[in-house]
Amino acid sequence: MEVRDYEVDRFGVVNNAVYANYLHHVRDAFLRSEGVDVALIVEGGNLLALTELHIKYLQPLRSLDKFRATLTIRKLTSVRAEFEHKLIRVESDSPQVGSPTLLLLVAW
């Protein structure tokens, strides 16, 4: 992934709210890669609710930085998934963000 110019603030770093979008993208890509179709879950009368998202900012990403993401499953049950996300700057191979996340399957 690469930081786009419009994602940075006036200080030249990625705005803190943008990181949640990055993490959402990574989580969705992971679910798709595991065969989870969120649209089918919703059509079945359920939803995946993000109930916790904690972002630890370690170092800022800047415009045009290239970064990769990792996602580790910390705990998985039939109705609960706990993930650990990391965003890692490619150039330095250093973590920029760490984020434990809780996703729940909820009857809608």
Backbone angles phi, psi at 45, to 5 degrees: 90, 15
Task: Using the structure block, give the residue that is written with the tokens 């499953």.
Answer: 73
**Neighbour count for residue 22 (Cβ, 10 Å):** 22
Instruction: Mention every residue, 6+ apart, whose C-beta is less than 8 A from residue 27.
Output: 71, 83, 85, 101, 103
Q: Can you give the residue range of the structural domain that contains 75? A: 5-107
Asked if 67 and 7 count as a contact pair (C-beta separation under 8 A), the reply is no
Active site residues: 9
Predicted pLDDT of residue 78: 86
Sign of torsion over alpha carbons 25, 30, 33, 36: negative
- Residue pair 80/89 in contact (Cβ under 8 Å)? The answer is no
pLDDT band at 108 (very low <50, low <70, confident <90, very high): low
Does pTM surpass 0.85? yes
Number of domains in the chain: 1
> Residue 32 and residue 7: Cα distance in Å, rounded?
25
How do residues 3-33 score in pLDDT, each as one tens digit? Answer: 999 999 999 999 999 999 999 999 999 999 9
Q: What does the pLDDT read at residue 46? A: 87
CATH assignment at residue 13: 3.10.129.10
